[in-house]
Structure 1
Amino acid sequence: MSKLEAILSQEVEAEIQAVLAEAKAKAESQVAEARAKAEGLLSAKKRALEASLQAALRRAESAGELLLATARTEAKGEVLARVREKVQEALMALPGSPDWPGVLRKLAEEALAALGEPEALASHPENLPHLEGLARERGLELREDPALRLGVRAVGKGGRTQVENALLSRLERAWDALSSKVAQVVWG
């Protein structure tokens, strides 16, 4: 081989080596850039997943707290309903107690006091004997009303006005305030 061929061969070889070195450097640069992009994407995805997980945990915690609050409220409602039942049962048992005539008289006096000119008292037939003395004192007629087992109705002159005073209806009217007090005693 001639000297010229050797020089050309060397130059071609140097050119090939330079092109290869440039290609290798470019490939390494592209790989490094791709790695950096991939790591950035991976890091961003990881942060997004972490944020999503935290949001899901907060939602689950909130839902759990809501379920707990709902269960507590329902339980309190059930306890209050049971207390109300027990109070109603106690009221229903009053006519059999020795205190009943005095309670009935007070109910009648309150109803009569609310009327200007009463002419009659109405109550359950079993209650009428307990009201005879009061009716005689006030000059009132006694009337039977089987629906008034736990109370009385004062009837005004001519029957135009009436005032009913019964324990169950008083309980109904007072229940909101009473249930608040019961809740305060039971749960503080």
Structure 2
Amino acid sequence: MALDKLLENEAHAEIERINAEARERAEHVVAQAREQAQSMIDSHERSLKAAYQAGLVRARSAADLDSNAQRLQATDSLQVQAFQTAEQYIRSSVTAPEYPQIIVKLIAEGLQVLPDAAVVETSAQEQGAVHQALEQLGQSLEVRVNDSVQTGVRLVGPNGKTSIQNTLVGRLDRVREELAPQITRLLAE
């Protein structure tokens, strides 16, 4: 029986060795799996953080663009409103007592460019101011009503082929592009 015991002991020892080897391999496989899983988790977390940061950058950029667009729209709206207010003020000034003095200057400037002018055109509302201005200037030009000429005058040459228009609203329109950046800067301040 000693041989049986010896064989049985050897078989148990072999089984123990195989079990120990299997446990060792299993622990090694589990450790590798854990490392791979942790690596995947870390990689996924990095991806999520990067995506989150990119989303924040996009959201901030979109908000900045929207804010700038709204600011530009507000500035444009205020500029339009400023020019409309200025034009309304100019149009209302035609009834002011000092308006004939303004017309004197507008006619005098026009005569410098077109000295042989024969006719002054102006709106019906400004006709009285033009007559006063011509009297002050010592000029005896024909005055015609042309309601398309407002807040100033148009001087017409003797043959009717040459003319020069000098109006306050026209001047405002000419300086609009020059004034726009200054108005924008003032609004920003």
User: Do the structures match in fold with TM over 0.5?
Assistant: yes
Structure 2 unaligned regions, length at least 5:
none
For 1:148, the equivalent position in structure 2 comes to 149
For 2:176, the equivalent position in structure 1 comes to 175
Taking the aligned partners of 1:83 and 1:132, their CA distance within structure 2 comes to 32
Q: Shift of the alpha carbon at 1:63?
A: 0.9
Q: Is the 8 A contact 2:75 2:187 kept in 1?
A: no
Computed over aligned residues only, the root mean square deviation of the Cα atoms, in angstroms, reads 1.7
For 1:162, the equivalent position in structure 2 comes to 163
Percent identical among aligned pairs is 28
Deviation per residue, 1:56-86 (Å, 9 max, x gap): 1111111111111111111111211221121
Taking the aligned partners of 2:109 and 2:131, their CA distance within structure 1 comes to 16
- Residue 181 of structure 2 aligns with an amino acid whose one-letter code is S
Deviation per residue, 1:125-177 (Å, 9 max, x gap): 33233333527833422212122231110111201111011111211111122
How does the TM-score come out when normalised to structure 2? Answer: 0.91
- Residue 167 of structure 1 aligns with an amino acid whose one-letter code is L
For 1:61, the equivalent position in structure 2 comes to 60
Secondary structure of the structure 1 residue equivalent to 2:155:
strand
Q: Shift of the alpha carbon at 1:116?
A: 4.5
2:78 counterpart of 1:79 = yes
> 8-17 or 131-140: which moved more?
131-140
2:119 counterpart of 1:125 = no
For 1:138, the equivalent position in structure 2 comes to 139
Taking the aligned partners of 2:124 and 2:65, their CA distance within structure 1 comes to 52
